[in-house]
Chains A and B, each alone.
Chain A
Amino acid sequence: MSQSTPDSTFDVASLVEDVSLKRIGQYVLVILFIGFFLSPLQTGLMTAFKTNEAVARTIPLVPPSASGFTLGNLQFALNELSGAFFNSLFMAIPATIGSVLFGSMAAYGLTMVRWRGQTAVLMLFLVGIFLPYQAVLVPLARFWNNIFPLASMLAPAFGALPVLEPYHSNLVPLMITHIAYGIPICTILFRSYYQSLPGSLVEAAKIDGASLSKIYRRVLLPISKPMFGVVFIYQFTQIYNEFLFAFTLITGSDTPEAVVTLILPAVGASTSGVDFGIRMSASFLAAIPTLLIYVAFAEQFAKGLQTEGGA
């Protein structure tokens, strides 16, 4: 509806005019909900910088006092997570690129040309988004461990490469798994975009005698840059945040190839309970990549989510 006001314009005159009981009520509600959505984050962030004593004595929401402030938690957490950060990015970036590329290709073949049975094939992709991953976990573990032990086959090659350790080869099956299971959602995201493009665009190129792959490279790829942005942001967030596949394919949070989400539930825990200062520091460190992306590209992220629902 037209009622949305531009975000940046701000003038006092219209603000004063705006004051009515209903308006005030609306803003009170908006602010209450801001509190609702931000309080767990604020609580965590403040706790991340508090000494154990300050954590026990102060209200979680308020910033630490000078004597209760510490960077020790953060330092400890960074130490625990640094290797896992590398693992997560090493796995998530190629997995994102792979699934996004395959998704865009599939969507092209399923929207830009017409053939019989297309709807049925599309259904297969669509259902693939919603199926619970639990239904493939046992086979997945069997496949990568017993039937096709790719990780151990690759280990020597990885050891020969600079920077990489042999244990990084354990991340390759996880990477491939994410590519395969990411294809359905990426396809549907791209499909909704390609459908919104004018059909004449491709028709004209076809009449000029361009081959399908030429049309894809010369016409479609250049104009779908914004959609690549959306899908890339959405998919990277999903893969980086994912836990279940990592949990299935990488055994144990104490192994050197563990990704960030796998390590986090154990950081700061001891027999006496959870050290929340350390735990919250680790949580925010783990959240940094997706938080940065989200704050910079909130609109694209929202767009990805909207399309997922409308799939």
Chain B
Amino acid sequence: MGTHETKETTTQSSEEVGWETKLRYFLNSDFVRSSPFWGIPLVIMGIAVYGGMGFNIAISLTDARGLTPPDYSNLDLDMYGQVLGSEAFLTAAQNNLVLLVVFTTICLFLGLFLAILLDQGIRYNNTVQTIYLLPMSLSFVITAQMWLWMFNTNNGLLNIIVTTLGFQPVQWIGNPGIALGSVIFALIWQFSGYTMVVYLAGLRSLPDDQFEAARVDGASTIKTYLRIIVPQMKEASVSAAVVLMVFALKAFTFLYSLTGRYRPPNGTDILATLMVREAFKFGKWAYAASIATYLLILALGVIAPYLYYQYRQGSL
């Protein structure tokens, strides 16, 4: 950035202006004068986020493991191949994909539904909104404990409901076939309030007259929503979807907390849990770092189109 600005000031000032004047001009520019404000945070954040990412990639190119420091003299992409070839990685990636698609889709629909419901002139709607959003204020560590209890095979509330209805008790997270579904269910409980809030903000920013006009034309409420209101929620949907998808990729805390161990319950391993296990349990630093890079690429696959969309919309 700095070089750009220097060039600009150089071309602007004509030949006869001395370098002192140019320098003074440059030092007085908004770029320089505002730089202490954005520059310091940029450096701190830049080192942490981008420096950290670069460092991670550097480690992923070594064979570092255990207590010996990484050897940077012998760099190759070995680890990336090893990771791709492992069964554990492919299973985790597959689970990640299921989590991402199912969780994001249901959260968006449920959130939209709740937002429309609360927008119907429900009494105490602020209080209701506060209740629906309540799970978002809690740590995943805490909600995981509560759901562990809800999912408990013997005395958990879900199984009490199931057996009261006359069915056999279900092993919610004990059964590999439905464990991932149970986890997704709990995460939907935690996040649908968030999508609701995003959609509510969208709904409340719409002008009333569209709704009135549709009314006058004799359209039913459902039709009005489907044809007129929902299409205008596109921006809210996109931004909420990005937040949910990025979360689905890195959802580590909830899964770890369910068992308090490195391995999440039956067949719910995702890339984030696999990466932390390989790094901090087995000390396979380079191997874990390359899993992290794959995760990063997946996240960029979500973020980049979103930023491009925002840029095109002119909202950056």
A261 touches B53 (CB 8 A): no
**Chain B residues with CB below 8 A from A137, complex form:** 275-276, 279, 288, 292
Q: Is A150 an interface residue (CB 8 A)?
A: no
Say yes or no for A174: interface residue by CB 8 A criterion. Answer: no
B156 touches A60 (CB 8 A): yes
Residue pair B197, A305 in contact (C-beta under 8 Å): yes
Cβ 8 A contact of B239, one of A2, A105, A310? A310
Asked whether B94 is an interface residue with its Cβ less than 8 Å from the other chain, the reply is no
Interface positions of A from 27 to 60, Cβ below 8 Å from B: 27, 29-30, 33-34, 36-41, 43-44, 47, 55-56, 59-60
Q: A5-B121, A184-B45, A305-B197 are in contact. Are A115 and B156 (CB under 8 A)?
A: no
Query: Which residues of chain B are near A119, meaning CB under 8 Å?
Result: 311, 316
Roughly how many angstroms separate A44 CA and B249 CA in the complex, as a whole number?
28
A10 touches B123 (CB 8 A): yes
Shortest CB-to-CB span from A186 to chain B, Å, is 9
A212 lies within 8 A of chain B by Cβ: yes
A85 at the interface (CB under 8 A from B): no
B47 an interface residue at 8 Å Cβ cutoff? Answer: yes
Of B28-36, B81-89, B98-106, B175-183, the one touching chain A = B28-36
A47 to B145, CA, bound (A): 12
CB within 8 Å of B: which of A165-199?
177, 179-181, 183-184, 187
Task: Find out whether the CB atom of A290 lies under 8 angstroms from the CB atom of B34.
Answer: no
The answer for the CA separation of A213 and B40 in the assembled complex, in Å, is 14
Chain B residues, CB < 8 A from A60: 149-150, 155-157, 160
Q: Is B61 positioned at the interface, with any CB of A under 8 Å from its CB?
A: no
Kindly provide the distance from the CB of B282 to the nearest chain A CB, expressed in whole angstroms: 12
Which residues of A lie under 8 Å from residue B125 when comparing CB positions?
4-5, 7
Q: Is residue A235 contacting chain B, with contact meaning CB distance below 8 A?
A: no
Taking CB atoms, residues of chain B closer than 8 Å to A39 are 150, 157
- The CA of A55 and the CA of B156, in the complex, are separated in Å by 10
Q: B134 contacts A41, CB within 8 Å? A: yes
Please name all residues of chain A whose beta carbon is closer than 8 Å to the beta carbon of B252 when the two chains form the complex: 134, 243-244
- B-contacting residues, A1-36, CB 8 Å: 1-5, 7, 10, 15, 26-27, 29-30, 33-34, 36
Q: A103-B41, A131-B296, A298-B130 are in contact. Are A138 and B56 (CB under 8 A)?
A: yes
Q: Is the CB–CB distance between B8 and A116 below 8 Å?
A: yes
Tell whether A41 pairs with B44 under 8 Å between CB atoms, given A113-B34, A286-B139, A306-B201: no
Taking a contact as CB atoms under 8 Å apart, the answer to whether B1 and A117 are in contact is yes
Residues of chain A within 8 A of B50, CB atoms compared: 124, 128
A136–B142 contact, CB under 8 A? no
Chain A, 109-143, CB within 8 A of any chain B CB: 109-110, 112-117, 119-128, 130-143
CB distance from B133 to the nearest CB of A (A): 6
A39 to B189, CA, bound (A): 11
CB–CB B142/A286 < 8 A: yes
Our pick among A106, A130, A131, A213 for the contact of B41 (Cβ within 8 Å) is: A106
Q: Nearest chain B CB to A251's CB is how many angstroms away? A: 9
Enumerate A241-276 residues with CB–CB distance to B below 8 Å: 241-244, 247-248, 261, 264-266, 269, 274, 276
Which secondary structure characterizes the binding site on chain A? helix
Assembly CA distance A38 to B133 (angstroms): 10
With known contacts A2-B208, A139-B56, A279-B145, A294–B134 Cβ distance under 8 A: yes
Shortest distance from the beta carbon of B193 to any chain A beta carbon, whole Å: 7
Q: A301–B51 Cα gap in the complex (Å)? A: 31
If A241-B138, A305-B197 touch, whether A135 touches B53 (CB-CB below 8 Å) is yes
User: Is A90's beta carbon under 8 Å from chain B?
Assistant: no
Residue of B nearest to A253 (CB): B260
Are B52 and A114 in contact, CB atoms less than 8 angstroms apart? no
Question: CA–CA, A83 to B7, complex, Å?
Answer: 56
CA–CA, A7 and B276, complex, Å: 46
Given the complex, which residues of B lie within 8 Å of A287, measured CB to CB? Answer: 138-139, 142
CB-based nearest A residue for B279: A138
Q: C-beta contact mask, A57-71 vs B, less than 8 Å → 1, else 0?
A: 001110000000000
> Would you call A86 an interface residue if the criterion is a C-beta within 8 Å of the partner chain's C-beta atoms?
no
In the complex, the answer to whether A37 meets B37 with C-beta atoms within 8 Å is no
B245-281: contact bitstring with A at CB < 8 Å (1 yes, 0 no)?
0100110110011011000000000011001100110
Known: A117-B4, A126-B307. A135 touches B40 (CB 8 A): no
CB contacts (< 8 Å) of B302 on chain A: these are: 130
Nearest chain A residue, comparing its CB with the CB of B245: A130
| Residue from A59, A108, A183 whose CB has the most chain B CB atoms within 10 Å | A183
A240 / chain B contacts, CB cutoff of 8 Å: 139
**Apart from A1-B119, A135-B295, A265-B141, what are 19 other A-B pairs with CB-CB below 8 Å?**
A2-B208, A5-B125, A7-B124, A44-B146, A105-B38, A124-B42, A131-B303, A132-B296, A135-B56, A136-B48, A138-B56, A237-B137, A247-B276, A279-B148, A290-B138, A291-B137, A295-B130, A310-B236, A310-B239
Q: List 9 A-B contacts (CB under 8 A).
A: A1-B206, A40-B146, A108-B37, A116-B5, A139-B55, A243-B257, A265-B257, A283-B145, A287-B139
Identify the B interface with A (CB < 8 A).
1, 4-5, 8, 29-31, 33-42, 44-53, 55-56, 59, 69-70, 114, 117-150, 152, 154-157, 160, 189, 193-194, 197-198, 201, 203-204, 206, 208, 211, 235-236, 239-240, 242-243, 246, 249-250, 252-253, 256-257, 259-260, 271-272, 275-276, 279-280, 285, 288-289, 291-293, 295-296, 299, 302-303, 307, 311, 316
What 5 A-B pairs are tightest by C-beta distance, nearest first?
A109-B38, A109-B37, A241-B139, A136-B52, A265-B260
